């Protein structure tokens, strides 16, 4: 059994706070685009449990979709039609079944960045 797991941390860089209440979806991409789970960030901008826990962790291609537009609407960011950023997909691969994969998101209404964290 794999010992690795997948986590995220979403920070609202425009306000300098964790992005609380953002919906996140995880898809596996190896044989189509299969939704594995949907979660929401807590008050620290993290999910309450790993997005992909050790007992479900396996190598392959994945996509995290961060629902930034709905988050920006919920916190009262002045609306645009359409929003510059709505859903942010991040596609990545898991090659080491024993590692912790951390995919953070730094967001503002007009930009974002990500990296493989620890």
| Residues 6+ away with beta carbon under 8 Å from 99 | 4
Domains and CATH numbers, the chain: 5-114 (2.60.40.180)
* 84, 59 Cβ separation under 8 angstroms: no
Inform me whether the pLDDT recorded for 86 exceeds 70: yes
* CA dist list (Å): 114 to 3, 58, 90, 105, 111: 24, 22, 8, 5, 11
Which position has the higher pLDDT, 118 or 73? Answer: 73
| Mean pLDDT along residues 85-94 | 97
Q: Residues 90-104: pLDDT tens digits? A: 999 999 999 999 999
Pairwise CA distance, residues 17 & 33, whole Å: 32
pLDDT band at 79 (very low <50, low <70, confident <90, very high): confident
Q: What pLDDT shows up at residue 2? A: 65
Q: What pLDDT shows up at residue 1? A: 55
Q: What pLDDT shows up at residue 23? A: 98
- Listed residue (19, 17, 18, 37) closest to 27, CA to CA: 37
| Rg (the chain; Cα; Å) | 14
Q: Residues 22-78: pLDDT tens digits? A: 999 999 999 999 999 999 999 999 999 999 999 999 999 999 999 999 999 999 999
What pairs with residue 101 in β-bridges?
6
């Amino acid at each position: 059994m794999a010992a690795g797991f997948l986590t995220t941390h979403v920070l609202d860089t425009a306000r300098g706070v964790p992005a609380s209440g953002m919906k996140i979806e995880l898809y596996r991409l190896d044989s189509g685009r299969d939704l594995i789970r949907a979660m929401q960030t807590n008050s620290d901008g993290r999910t309450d449990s790993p997005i992909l826990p050790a007992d479900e962790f396996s190598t392959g291609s994945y996509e995290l979709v961060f629902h930034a537009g709905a988050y920006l609407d919920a916190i009262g960011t002045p609306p645009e039609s359409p929003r510059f950023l709505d859903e942010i997909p991040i596609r990545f691969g898991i090659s080491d079944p024993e590692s912790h994969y951390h995919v953070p998101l730094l967001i503002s209404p007009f930009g974002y960045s990500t990296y493989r964290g620890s």
